[in-house]
Amino acid sequence: MKKIIFLSFIFLVGLFYSCKNDWYEIKPKGQGSPATLTTKTGINYLLTGTYAVVDGTHLGTDGAVWASSVSNWVWGSVASDDAYKGSDYGDQATINPVEGFYADADNGYVANHWQGLYDGVVRANDVLRYLPDTKDLSDAEKTLAEAQAKFLRAHFYVELTLIHGKVPYIDENTETPKTVANDHMLWPEIEADMKFAAENLPESWGGDVGRASRWAAKTYLSRIYLLQGKYSDAKPVLDDVYTNGPFELMDSYEQNYMIAYNNNKESIFEIQYAANDGADGSPNAGWGDSLNFPHGVAGMGTCCGFFQPTHSLVSAYRVGADGLPMLNDTYTADDMLPYDPDITDATVIKYDGNVDPRLDHTVGRPGIPFLDWGVQVGIGWVRDATNGGPYLYKKNMFKKAEKGLATTTGWATGVNPNNFRKFRLAHVILWLAECEAQIGTLARATSLVNEIRNRAKNSNVVLLDDGTPAANYLVEPYPATFASKEIAMKAIQEEDRLEFAMEGMRFFDLVRWGIAGSVMNNYLQVEGTKMAHLSGKVFTPGKHEKWPIPQTQRDLSVDDSGTSVLIQTDGYE
Amino acid sequence: MKKSKLKGVWKIAALLLFSCFYALTTFAQQKSLSGTVLGEDGTPIPGVTVVVQGTTVGSITDVDGKFTFLVPADAEVLTVSYIGMKTQDITIGNQTNFKITLLADVLGIDEVVVVGYGTQQKKTLTGAVSTVDESELRSVPAASAAAKLQGRVSGVTITNDNTPGGESMVRIRGIGSVNNNDPLYIIDGVPTTGGLSKINPNDIESISVLKDASSSAIYGVRAANGVILITTKRGKSGKAKLRFDARFGIQAPGKSLELLNTQEYGDLLWLESKNLGLKQGDNGWGNSQYGYGASPVIPDYIIPEGKMAGEVDESTYSYPSPYNGITKASKAGTNWYDEILDPAPIQEYNLSVTGGTDKGGYAFSGGYMNQKGIVSNTGFERYSIRSNADTKITNWLEVGESLGVSYSDRTGQGTNNDEGNAISQAYRMQPIIPVYDIMGNFAGTQAKTTGNGANPVAILDRDKDDYNRDLRVLTNAYVQVNLTPDLSVKSLLGADYTSTRRQDRTITNPEFSEAIPADKLIQYYYGTFQYNWINTLNYKKTFNDKHNFNFLLGSEAVKWNYDLFQAGRSTFASTDLDYMVLDAGEKDQTANGSFDEWSTFSYFGRINYNYMGKYLAEVVLRRDASSRFSEDNRWGTFPAFSLGWRLSEEAFMSDVKWLDNLKVRFGWGKNGNDNVGGYYNAFTTYRVYNGESYYSLTGSNSSTEAGIHKYKLGNPDGKWEASVTTNLGIDATIFNKLEVNLDIYKRVTTDMLYNQSLPYTYGRLQLPAVNIGEMKNNGFDLMLSYNEKIGRDLHLNVRANVSHYKNEIVKLNSNPNEILYGPELRQNVYTASMTGEPISSFYGYVVEGYFTPDMFDKIDKYDEVGNVDGFKYQLKDGAHAPYNTKVVTGDTYSIPGAFMYKDINKDGQITAEDRQVIGSPHPDFTYGININLEYKNWDLTMFFQGSQGNDVINYVNRWIMFNNFSGNRGTARLYESWTEERYASGAKITQPIAIRDDAVMQKNSSFFIEDGSYLRMKDLQIGYNLPNSVLGKAGIESLRLYIQATNLFTITKYSGLDPELSNPDDNPDRLMGVDEGIYPTSQIFTFGINLNF
């Protein structure tokens, strides 16, 4: 019996065998730890991960990818007089308040924009945080990485500032981001980052055309100056790019919107899209614009009919017999080009006056060939003409002959490798013209504008199958020097609109020119007579130039006493 | 674990075996006892256990109720026991032959109940444990044991997923956490997370539900949500028994939603235009299919749109590319529900053999189940085999094993309760679209202005070859050494292995407005493997016939892993099944893989003590370590105790004749939950992911460079979530007919792991869980069981149970105003969790009624030349708070007939701040009633089950009553929506004004809330046992035939398809009670046979 008790005791010990710690030391699978990042590879990967935000990622959250799209189609174009949200009224309905200027701090797109851009800031900060401890990088290599990270960080902060106004500044040294107040506009920090980039980036990266170059940084810096109205700071930088940069205008305008001419000689900074790169649904092919292709067009197979040009934009392309735009603000409901909603075949009424040929490279119009996809049929190619009008967005579309380049997986069937040209020489030329107009050198301002108009004049026009032009195209340079600074500015503003329509810049330009209130209210009043969703909508100057700080972010950004450190944008309190 | 340590254990075991053998040889003088055990009616009872009290020496009666065995000469008392009979102790004295009559213990007070790592007599239980036996589990035809448990046990709320093979959601005593709330399942000692639908419920002998912490604390590590112990059938001593069960049934779909037909849909479009103030000829009037006239005209063709016969050249038909799928209008209107719902068969066959001797037993079984779904081209099939065996090698050594293997196959479109499944597409498709175009290919929303619904018949047809095949092996083996009659040690090694192969084919859908560009195939191989090793020591002793001790000590190690491999390709020359394998795919080669694991290790101990079966006590202590926490916080300690007092055993109660049993119980205990925040909550990680961190730096059109991004923030300070339950229970038996079990409990979860809320200035990251929240559940569980014998032949048995819980979040984090929003559905939030409210309360605006015309000034609008050009409404000052005027200048929402939302914060405007809790998905109580009648050879079972007082959000109404997308609409939007005429005439109005631009009215509000209470007749069964006179000759022991109706009727006010809403989401509690398009419950009519040899 004693033996049994003794053996039971031994058994008990065996029963309570203790596991060694490695039984529980289970590490995350397939994930990098902070320790693995302070290497050359780690920094390169972090940097690529930061570039990845620029082209719009965030497949995970509906809306974030569209709200934070680099093309700014929602904030720069739908919120302007260039574009409607389009599609069905109820689809992505949280854009409606942006379009109609009644978004509040709970608006989903406002929050999604904030989310996407701060994710970029945090990724750029990670590069800068790990960089000093990296051993296998030379100082020169570190500077190159730093300059790229700062270029990208400045970009993210420009976007945040343009849309939300005062935003909190989070950098690589911030310990507790939630306690950082938004007490000033971030232009000084943005300028510092972009200047560093302009001084330290190489003029060219050789094969890596996707990386930001010194010229990209300089162009961006000039844009940052212009957004603050600092013409005298902007001018020398623009002159430098114009004179010393290796860029030339493309022969024909529409080449800037074609896959075949990605990264062309006019391009200064291009957002790189790649489809069918092995990632399901081609998330790296400009998902920010994935809704903005014709919807339900037989044989085209793209989605989802968003982002439609306005009547206002189309009528802006009318030219007089002199081939010049109509610069007097006489746009009325009568100028909305007529279309009959009942007509569904190709014989729709076309505007038979003269139009700038850039119109049909920018806008899909009934009766006009839509690239090589055939003639756009009535409103048959539109998802809901009562909500979005008869026109379609064209610049991001791929040609039928290039269908194999577009995504072959996922529901976002339009995404394709047609890059978004964020900055090209045309920007530099027109901005420089603006600077010249401001200081009164009107002759140079005129010749710069005419450089753009002459290129338009010499560009290909859209042709019908029989080889004849699809409309009465006419565009001419200004025959004489602008008579005054005011006329020059008017002409330049109009030229900006025509050249860069639907490219997400218009709203911010209206704001920096100080004419957002008058232009937008005229537009809303006129379009409101025909487009129900704009009826009764009003732009309030002093408020609607910016959007709110998302309420959830204010609620979460609190100091130790629980008080929010983020003040609301003026007018949204 | 070190290998050498393992070796050590086996060495010790070998020594033990030897020593025990030695010890047992010391038994000497013996005598032989024999006897017969009879029932009250004088018939012999086989399988009765007869043992010498306090030893394992004994035998089991044979078919004739006889027993014979050798006992030590000094043996004093025989204990005779049999399930369902009162146990008897018989003094041996000089007797060697016994005639023992066992009395029926109708209410099973001596029943043995399976508890953690052992069994216990029901009468000495002190925790809150409910059991369900085999006969109850067999009643309802369902693939999963969990579905069969619904309504059977108090304190357990079960929501079924009606898709064939779908898993039910099981919640024990409310919801304890914002995290995982699934109970822990233990099958024959092996903990499992693999769900129950892959296990053949016919193999189950009993289910014990451990509801309070004092009973479940022995499983501390994952027991916070309760424990469900499942014991499969094992062989008993006696002759071999063969049992065959078969059933065949037809499932019939229930109701469909009332939707518009083609003409009505056109009428609604016209009504919407009129409501906008449009006239014929205005921009926005009319529709390209129905024309632009004064009233809608149904066209003959919808592709090409709006064309009449004669206008269309059908020879231009072209499919699939270029797509010109000429389609005729469905003039009467397609009833999409009829197109996808059909009666479907369900069949099930089980064969089992059990038997054994006093040296051991065996149970073999095989089963086959085949359930077709009422939704076309869906189904579930399961093959299962099981082999359980136990053998006593010597008196002191027992070994045994369980091996269950099942193979199941779910086919067809498997999603449930989401906007994309076929059920939802049935209301998203306009009635004007036919199922097929003129050439017999599928028709769809390529037809203009028909929205973006997808033809559900096409979906189901194209997905019919999708499958989800599981091979599951659940097994264990044990060795038990009985060192002395009182002391035993047991070692059990268990494994749970599931391997899944899944095929997902996506076939191009050219008729769909958002057609996909290429055929695609993805194949998945994934599986889990878990093994556990349990070692226990059990000591059981009675001192002075009064003090009964039971002592358990043990340890358990568990390791779990999961791995996934997935590969896909797109673009196939043919979608033929034989052709469409991965190798034949031309583009988009993808391959993904992942791997996860966790482990736990635990010590535990339990002491049971009772004094003469009168005063009962139990103490449990468990210590657990989990790999999910960092070293400093790895170990958690979970104590529990419980006390019981059987008042009916007291002398002063002996006069109370009507009270046969009365026991009060009290228990307190603490449990832990580590199933939170993923497996690696402690770590900050970075991820390489092509969807988030790749970029084409080289400018390539078709390739990208890899990048990395911060993915997850870690919380090294995370520790166990703890749940403390206090339980007070009463068990009573009255007149030996009525048994009452009542438990009242309070359960508090502290250190609840809650995902940290941080602003996006930290990045868009997976945020770690931090121990900060607190949650409370109060409730009661009541079970009643009543037995009556009426006359000679009529037996009545009624069992009823009621469960109630009240859930409240005490704290989420340091911010008292923190709101944890549920998932967004189309930019709207439907559920929210906040302090002071139950988890996942419905959240939204309160609708106070409709704006009426007298609240407005009608202001004429003028055109440029000064003529009146329409009008607009201007809300009169003070009439009602308008919608968001602060930001909407010229509020176009506030018009007659639109919802008046309540201005909760009284700031004079309706904003997002005016949302509040508007309902609760939690029932006041759930219940089940089972009535069983037996008359001679006939039996009748009626089982009702229901839920009372829970709200439901009818999210489907957002699709069919509002302009979310251009799908079909409910008839009420046309006939019962607000119009000036209906308002003036006092006609019935159940819907707001039908306007196109109504994004505001479809925000979540009290309008979408409905009463989700229901009472369902779950089972109606009539059985007939063929008389022995017929069977005897054929050697058949019994043969029962039955017919059965399942879900015969449901009484509910809910207007949707079904009020019982399951959610297949990863965190289903966060969308509980939201109907996004549920797979409806079907009626099943079954014929079955139970045959015993």
Span A343-360, pLDDT tens digits: 555 445 567 789 999 999
Using a 10 angstrom Cβ sphere, with 0-12 exposed, 13-18 middle and 19 or more buried, the burial of residue B145 is buried
Query: CB contacts < 8 Å between A and B, how many?
Result: 405
A contacts of B292 (beta carbons < 8 Å): 341-342
Contacts 24+ apart (CB under 8 A), B811-814: B811/B772, B811/B773, B811/B774, B811/B835, B812/B178, B812/B754, B812/B772, B812/B773, B813/B754, B813/B756, B813/B757, B813/B770, B813/B772, B813/B773, B814/A562, B814/B772
Q: Residue B710 and residue A122: Cβ atoms within 8 Å?
A: yes
Look up residue B761 and give its DSSP letter.
G
Q: How far is B291 from chain A (nearest CA, A)?
A: 8
Taking CB atoms and an 8 Å cutoff, what residues of chain A touch B536?
A: 15
- Per-residue model confidence (pLDDT) at position B15: 43
Which range has the worst mean pLDDT, A15-24, B812-821, B892-901?
A: A15-24
Exposed / middle / buried, residue B930 (Cβ in 10 Å: 0-12, 13-18, 19+): buried
What is the spatial distance between Cα B440 and Cα B35, in angstroms, rounded to a whole number? 79
Query: Which two tokens mark A50?
Result: 């930061």
Question: What are phi and psi for residue B597, nearest 5 degrees?
Answer: -155, 160
Q: B761 and A118: CB-CB below 8 Å?
A: yes
What pLDDT sits at residue B100? 85
- Residues from chain A contacting residue B633 (CB–CB below 8 Å): none
| Mean pLDDT, range A197-221, rounded to an integer | 97
Residue B11 clears pLDDT 60, i.e. is over it: no
B835-848 average pLDDT score: 93
C-beta atoms of B888 and A102 within 8 A: yes
The stretch A76-104 carries a mean pLDDT of 90
What is each CA distance from B704 to A52, A69, A407, B885, in whole angstroms? 10, 19, 14, 48
B chain contacts of residue A1, beta-carbon cutoff 8 Å:
23
Distance CA B874, CA B853 (A): 10
Cross-chain residue pair B710–A123, CB shorter than 8 Å: yes
Q: Which residues of A touch B282 (CB under 8 A)?
A: none
Q: Using the beta-carbon criterion (under 8 Å), do A333 and B864 form an inter-chain contact?
A: yes
A9 versus B78: which is more confidently predicted?
B78
Residue keyed to tokens 């494994």? B495
Q: Pick the range with the lowest mean pLDDT from A151-160, A413-422, B52-61, B231-240.
A: B52-61
User: By the 8 A CB rule, do B1048 and B929 touch?
Assistant: no
Of A14, A47, A51, the CB nearest to B9: A14
Q: At residue A488, does pLDDT exceed 70?
A: yes
Yes or no, beta carbons of A341 and B603 under 8 Å apart: no
- Interface contact B693-A259, CB threshold 8 A: no
Residue B23: per-residue pLDDT: 39
B301 has a pLDDT exceeding 70:
yes
User: What residues of chain B lie within 8 A of the CB of A114, using their CB?
Assistant: 760
Dist CA B427 CA B1061 (whole Å): 18
Report whether pLDDT(A14) > 60: no
Q: How many Å apart are CA A344 and CA A217, to the nearest integer?
A: 48
Q: Would you call B764 and A119 a contact, using CB atoms and an 8 Å cutoff?
A: yes
Is B517 in contact with A409 (Cβ distance < 8 A)? yes
Residue B106 pLDDT greater than 70, yes or no? no
CB contact under 8 A, A209 and B884: no
pLDDT confidence tier of residue B8, bands split at 50, 70 and 90? very low
Does residue B17 register a pLDDT over 70?
Answer: no
Is the pLDDT at A286 greater than 60? The verdict is yes
Predicted local confidence at residue A62, as pLDDT: 58
- pLDDT tens for B363-377 read 999 999 999 999 999
The token pair at A171 is 């950098």
Query: Between chains, do B448 and A211 touch, taking CB under 8 Å as contact?
Result: no
Beta-carbon neighbour count of residue B966 at 10 Å? 24
Give me the amino acid identity at A401.
A
| CA pair distance A211, A202, nearest whole angstrom | 10
- Judge contact between B730 and B736, C-beta under 8 A: no
Nearest CA in chain A to B289: A342
Which residues on chain B are in Cβ contact (under 8 Å) with A96? 999
d(CA B109, CA B122): 6
CA–CA dist B427, B956 (Å, integer): 8
Output b/e per residue, A95-114; b: 16+ Cβ within 10 A.
Answer: bbbbbbbbbbbbbbbbbbbb
Say yes or no for a CB contact (<8 Å) between B888 and A342: no
Interface probe for A, chosen from B3, B594, B704 (most Cβ of A below 10 Å), is B704
DSSP state of A467: S
Which of A3, A9, A17, A336 to mutate to probe the B interface, most B CBs <10 Å?
A17
Cα(B827)–Cα(B823) distance, integer angstroms: 9
Please tell me which of the candidates B324, B710, B760 has its beta carbon nearest to residue A298: B324
Q: In this complex, which of A11, A295, A384 lies closest to B16 when CB atoms are compared?
A: A11
Residue B498 one-letter amino acid: T
Chain B residue numbers touching A273 (CB-CB < 8 A) = 696, 701
Mean residue pLDDT across chain B: 86
CA-closest candidate to residue B375, choices B421, B418, B407, B442:
B421
* Angle CA B62–B65–B67, to nearest 5: 65
Kindly state the average pLDDT of the residues A9-18: 56
Mutate to test the interface with B, among A6, A277, A527 (most CBs of B within 10 A): A277
- Is the Cβ pair B487, A3 closer than 8 Å? no
Residue B395 CB coordination number (10 Å):
16
pLDDT in tens, B769-816: 888 889 999 999 999 999 888 888 899 999 999 999 999 999 888 778
CA B223 – CA B184 distance, rounded (Å): 6
Residue type, B581: V
Q: Which residue of B has its CA nearest to A275?
A: B702
Q: Between chains, do A48 and B695 touch, taking CB under 8 Å as contact?
A: yes
Query: From the candidates B694, B713, B907, which should be mutated to test the interface with A, based on the most A CB atoms within 10 A?
Result: B694
Confidence category of residue A20, pLDDT binned at 50, 70, 90: low
What residues of B are in contact with residue A23 (Cβ under 8 Å)? Answer: 1, 557, 559, 599, 601, 627
B1034, two tokens: 């054929």
B598–A26 CB contact, under 8 Å: yes
Split at pLDDT 50, 70, 90, the class of A335 is: low
C-beta atoms of A119 and B892 within 8 A: no
Instruction: Give B-chain residues touching A32 at CB under 8 angstroms.
Output: 685-688, 708
Q: Are the beta carbons of A104 and B887 separated by less than 8 Å?
A: yes
Most confident of A33-37, A311-315, B61-65, B455-459: B455-459
DSSP-H helix ranges across A479-569: 485-500, 506-513, 516-528, 551-556
Nearest Cα to Cα of residue B901 among B925, B927, B880: B880
Q: Which of A16, A18, A23 to mutate to test the interface with B (most CBs of B within 10 A)?
A: A23
What is the per-residue pLDDT for B269? 93
pLDDT grade for A228, boundaries at 50, 70 and 90? very high
DSSP one-letter code for A173: T
Question: What is the reported pLDDT for B113?
Answer: 84
- Going from the C-alpha of B381 to that of each of A402, B199, B372, B427, B468, the distances in angstroms are 46, 12, 8, 29, 10
- What residues of A are in contact with residue B764 (Cβ under 8 Å)? 58, 61, 64, 115-116, 118-119, 122
Confidence (pLDDT) at B9: 44
Q: What is the number of other CB atoms lying within 10 angstroms of the CB of residue A245?
A: 18
Q: Write the pLDDT tens digit of every residue in B708-736.
A: 999 999 988 888 888 899 999 999 999 88
Nearest chain B residue to A411 by CA distance is B516
Smallest Cβ–Cβ distance between B997 and the set A208, A532, A562 belongs to: A532
Note whether A224 and A190 are within 8 A (CB): yes
pLDDT band at B866 (very low <50, low <70, confident <90, very high): low
Q: Is the pLDDT of residue B7 over 50?
A: no
Using CA coordinates, name the residue in chain A closest to B698.
Answer: A208
CB contact (8 A) between residue A344 and residue B284: no
Q: pLDDT tens for residues B886-910? A: 444 456 678 899 999 999 988 888 8
Q: Which residues of A touch B323 (CB under 8 A)?
A: 298-299
Across the interface, which of B515, B553, B888 has its CB nearest the CB of A301? Answer: B515
Q: Cα distance from A445 to chain B (closest Cα, Å)? A: 34
Q: What is the pLDDT of residue B3?
A: 42
Which residue of chain B has the CA closest to A547?
Answer: B887
Give Cα B527 distance to the centre of its chain. Answer: 21
CB A418 within 8 A of CB A273: yes
Instruction: Nearest by CB to B963, from A89, A121, A532: name it.
Output: A89
Q: Rounded CA gap, B44 and B65, in Å?
A: 5
Q: For B626, name the nearest residue in chain A, comparing CA atoms only.
A: A24
Question: What's the half-sphere exposure (Cβ side, CA atoms, 13 Å) at A219?
Answer: 29
Residues 6+ apart with CB under 8 A from A129: A172
Q: What is the mean pLDDT of residues A481-501?
A: 96
Contact partners, residue A184, CB within 8 Å, separation at least 6: A166
> B699 and A210 in contact by Cβ < 8 A?
yes
Cα–Cα distance between A416 and A398 in angstroms, integer?
7
pLDDT of residue B226: 87
CB within 8 Å: A123 and B815: no
Tell me the shortest Cα–Cα distance from A51 to chain B, in angstroms: 6
Pairing of strands B227-232, B204-210: antiparallel
Q: Is A521 a residue whose pLDDT tops 80? A: yes
How many whole angstroms separate alpha carbon A439 and alpha carbon B677? 61
B546-574 burial string, b = 16+ CB within 10 Å, else e? Answer: eebebbbbbbbbbbbbbbeebbbbbbbee
Which amino acid, residue B432? I
The pLDDT confidence band at residue B587, using thresholds 50, 70 and 90, is confident
Per-residue model confidence (pLDDT) at position B659: 85
CA distances from B702 to A289, A416, A418 (A): 18, 9, 11
**Distance in angstroms (rounded) separating the CA atoms of residues B28 and A502:** 102
Half-sphere exposure of B1005 (CA within 13 A, CB side): 25
| A29 DSSP assignment | S
pLDDT at A377: 80
